[in-house]
Amino acid sequence: MANIGVVGAGSWGIALSVLLSNNGHSVSVWSALADEIDMLNEHREHKDKLPGVKLSEKISFTKDLSEAVAGKEVLVLAVPSPFIRSTAHQLKDVVKPGQIIVNVAKGIEENTLMTLSQIVEEEVPQAVVAVLSGPSHAEEVGRGIPTTIVVGARKKETAEFLQNVFMSDVFRVYISPDVLGIEVGAALKNVVALAAGVADGLGYGDNTKAALITRGIAEISRIGVAMGGKFETFMGLSGIGDLIVTCASMHSRNRRAGILIGQGHTMKEAMDEVKMVVEGVYSAKAAKGLADKYGVELPIIEQINLILFEDKPAADAVRDLMIRDKKVENALLPFEE
């Protein structure tokens, strides 16, 4: 069994803490919010973000980052994407060479266009960095509902070690060397989920949702491959798998925010209503920046940026997507001469 520190006590950090504790590991959870740690110690439940999921007395909670890190074989980095760099910067002075940091957040840094694992590697160069992603709502993982994810690491021995740490009879873990592809799929699916929510808010139906999912994964794989990710990754758990669940579920904060925007709320109003970090809003500008950098056409992501940041009416954005120039669905499939 492993000693594990979970850095971040939001819904995902807590759900993974429950999973890892149930797997028999020693788990310590840190939060930058002192009130959050007090609440978790007192109630053994995250009443705001994961109500109803009771936390074992075996899980410890601390306000001291050094205590959460010291002697741990694995650190699970579970803070929201906008806080990855600042948190990793704090970790730099307390992480020992060779400690494994598993990033479980999803996003792209707007000003640098770096993936989150790239940020962690830059800030904590002595660490071994891996990622965990896939169709996995915290609300379901915390309740032990069967879930399947993928762990990405450059070295197979790291991936296999983490596979053994996380895997259980309700949490199936696959492994992959395509860390970049996993992270691109994880980040950009949140932007497409915003679009799916907007369509729901406008009152559109299943046909529209299927179109957004199908063409959304085409956009994600297009930019991901241009960046160096593998096409096969986007057809897997961290690509189409995560996209389906995020576009379809009301657990998805991105979809919920999109619904509110489609109903006429502003981006800020929608984020305030959801009361959690809406990762897709932060990733949307970064996705547009990546499209410009790599010269890749991403029409859905372009329209979401116009809705979010230039107040374009959502219905107009959908119409503009529908009347774009005629296209071949797959340019690699030849017609007969």
pLDDT mean over 43-60: 93
Question: What are residue 131's phi and psi, to 5 degrees?
Answer: -135, 155
Could you tell me if residue 166 is inside a domain? yes
> Looking at the structure, do residues 73 and 171 belong to the same domain, yes or no?
yes
Domain boundary among 177, 204, 230: 177
Please check whether residues 123 and 185 belong to one and the same domain: no
Q: Are residues 96 and 126 in the same domain?
A: yes
Give the pLDDT band of residue 275 (cuts 50, 70, 90): confident
Residue 124 pLDDT grade (very low, low, confident, very high; cuts 50, 70, 90): very high
Give the residue numbers annotated as catalytic, written as ranges: 189
Tens digit of each residue's pLDDT (9 = 90 or more) over 306-325: 999 999 999 999 999 999 99
Helices (H), 295-332: 299-310, 314-322
Looking at the fold, whether 191 and 312 belong to one and the same domain comes out as yes
186, 172: one domain: no
Residue 337 counted as domain residue: no
Are residues 201 and 163 part of one domain?
A: no
For residues 132-145, give the mean pLDDT. 96
Q: Given this model, what pLDDT does residue 98 score?
A: 96
Least confident window among 24-33, 264-273, 274-283: 274-283
* pTM summary value: 0.93
**Measured between alpha carbons, how far is 141 from 314 in angstroms, rounded to an integer?**
33
Q: Residue 278: pLDDT band by 50, 70, 90 thresholds? A: confident
Same domain, 208 and 314: yes
Share of the chain above pLDDT 90, in %: 89
Q: Which range marks the domain in which residue 266 is found?
A: 180-322
Claim to verify: residue 184 and residue 168 sit in the same structural domain:
no
pLDDT value of residue 126: 98
71 φ/ψ sector (left φ>0, alpha ψ -120 to 50, else beta): left
Domains in the chain: how many in total? 2
Contact by Cβ (8 Å): 83, 96:
no
Write the CB contacts of 37 (distance below 8 Å, at least 6 apart in sequence).
9, 30, 31, 61, 62, 63
What is the rounded average pLDDT of the residues 287-295?
A: 95
Q: Is residue 332 part of a domain?
A: no
Give which of 173, 80, 84 is closest to 133, Cα–Cα: 173
